[in-house]
Structure 1
């Protein structure tokens, strides 16, 4: 009995099917790795934020950069957050996946027994963005602190609203639109940077085109006039516009500043 020979058309169909299947697997792999990297990055920044809170509480001020925070603060923050996490297994799996991509299976399996709480390991781990080609552990910088919070007092940190930490190539950032490092992918296509807001909430800011940038800047510049219309500052608005004094004046000014900051955040994320 003669063996059936595939025709050229049949071979093309088979190859096309294989290519489609491989493409689906590749896209799935990329999405999984990106989600794991984003999860790790967000968890890193949560740990950094918690470490900053501990640092401010014990030193009555914030550091000049994230690298100034002693390693034990990161260890305390990591353990605290891991104990509070509802699904710590997913976090550990995310760390494992990004390490697997970076180190390879054999090296990762042999290193699996190392404790995350080994001296200095937590500090290096949480200060490294998994998508940064020159992270902190290799002499670079993965995350930056908002310039407005450099050496800020504990009270200033308490009253601050806005972005605290973000993906960055420098130790500090001033503008989230131009100073952040957009290493991640949002919806597979859009470049994005992971940031942490005051309060510890993490989010992703997408990189905007030049045409969008002017609209965002315009939105941000209009925030003061929306919050305290007719007055140049929050103080004038509360003192002159509302006729407040004493503690009521201070509360009004504080709430006004928070409203302006929230308006600016809304401009970034809308």
Structure 2
């Protein structure tokens, strides 16, 4: 009598914003027992050390503004690995359901009849500004925050809506920063609104560049800001100058950290 085939399970796991110490306990537990780990470019090498010794590490290289492996192929890979009876961790930067295309993968798994679970992670939309000493809300300054992406398939962002946000956190802003800032100003946002670019938020080589909205793109270009980068727009950015201890706690980028940056693919 032949044994009935049993599919494995896929865990859509948020790896957090970069700093490996911000990985959740649940994520670490799943990595420790997974048969296969399918991971993106923006995963700190130390996070992968939580995987068991004989786990299959499958790199799919997704990054903001593009992807080295088409999403459909990633979906198929998750399904095929699960159909081999394996426990699969799909490791995604930040939170899988916040501009991480996690819902697309969940829908594909649902349609294929594969068991899956979503494990939330710390989103870079919250963590990167916090690590940069920028509170996204503050009593009397900003009572709301809007998260948006600078890249939308098939249609432009609603700049009129985004221009009215008390605090705006724009994901994947780097390559289209000038376009985004000009659009926000054209839609009514004051050119002198405080703004900041947070490059590689929470990583060892994190950088923060501040300037008025009208000048932030040129400042970022002069500094050769790379990916990943978040744009924060709003009066909350001006609070950074008052949080000097937090700002000064971030050390100057060392040569070793520059090496880590290159190794992680941020240059």
* Higher strand content, 1 or 2: 2
Relative to the length of structure 1, the TM-score reads 0.30
Relative to the length of structure 2, the TM-score reads 0.30
Structure of higher RCO (CA pairs closer than 8 Å, 6+ residues apart)? 2
